[in-house]
Amino acid sequence: MTLRNLTRVLLMVLVAVLMALPLTGCARDAEPDEPTPTPEPTPTPEPEEPVAETTDVLVYLLDGETLAVVRRHVDETVAVASAAMEELLAGPEGRETELDFGTEIPDGTTLLGVDVDNGIATVDLSPEFESGGGSLSMRMRVAQVVYTLTQFETVDQVAFMIDGSPVEAIGGEGIVVSPPVGREDFRDDVLPLIFVEEPAPFDEVTSPLRLHGYSNTFEATFIINVVDPSGRIVYEDFTTATAGSGTWGTFDITVDYEIEREGVGALIVFEESAKDGSQINLKEIPLEMRE
């Protein structure tokens, strides 16, 4: 091969190499990029419902012609006296009606306000509070309000207003409420002779069980029975109040017992008749018994 032919061959090879280089680059550029994975979206947690704080209040209804106490759960509030009054005005509900509990407060009565100052709760009620009923009805409805409001340590007595105006007496029968009245003004004719203030019906209880309230029995004594869900008496004894035989006293006792299973049991209190030993002034309080 001559030098001229060799030079021609080398030029042809060089041209071929130069032409191949951009083609190879274009081929690489033409290859599609690998797709970038899309990250899974992070689920947004659902907002939790705030847990409503509650508090307990006692409400004083009627069991026949005497007061009865029930427990209600209300939203926690600084206006706890108003909350208790609203529950009272709502009347018996749920299992309370199964016990035939009632009220003398007329339907439609509304609470206009409660103000507590220096141991006196001034309650303002709508005019319906005075409607209907005789002297016993008026006395019982006033007692229901007085006992409901005086459950609080800051309240000793209750003053009444009707539709924004202070009143000296309630209703045509003239139940005197001025000066302000307290529990002792009504207990002789509105309380059963053994009045258990706590536990209230259907309270959830465990051993030991504390019970307290008022009594006015012969020689200040009465019997306490605790009955478990199977009907077995798991506690039986007597207790002595601070007074009796015509004078009201208080009692506060804690009792121990054992149950075989959970369920509805009862606290039963009664006095033994001095005449024939029979059970008198008997009250039975159903309880949700827990271990």
Q: How confident is the model at residue 9 (pLDDT cuts 50, 70, 90)?
A: very low
Mean pLDDT of the chain: 88
Write the pLDDT tens digit of every residue in 74-127. 999 989 999 999 999 999 999 999 999 999 999 999 999 999 999 999 999 999
Per the confidence metrics, is the pTM higher than 0.85?
no
CATH class of the domain at 194-289: mainly beta
Q: How confident is the model at residue 174 (pLDDT cuts 50, 70, 90)?
A: confident
The three-state DSSP-derived secondary structure of 225-264 is EEECCCCCEEEEEEEECCCCCCCCEEEEEEECCCCCCCEE
For residue 95 the two structure tokens come to: 């299992």
Q: In a 3-state reduction of DSSP, which class is residue 8?
A: helix
> Number of C-alpha atoms within 13 angstroms, CB side, residue 263?
9
User: How far is 225 from 284, CA to CA, in rounded Å?
Assistant: 9
Q: What is the pLDDT of residue 194?
A: 98
Contacts of 181 (CB under 8 A, 6+ apart): 142, 146, 157, 158
What does the domain layout of the chain look like in residue ranges? 54-190, 194-289
Write the pLDDT tens digit of every residue in 139-153. 999 999 999 999 999
Q: How confident is the model at residue 133 (pLDDT cuts 50, 70, 90)?
A: confident
Q: What is the pLDDT of residue 272?
A: 96
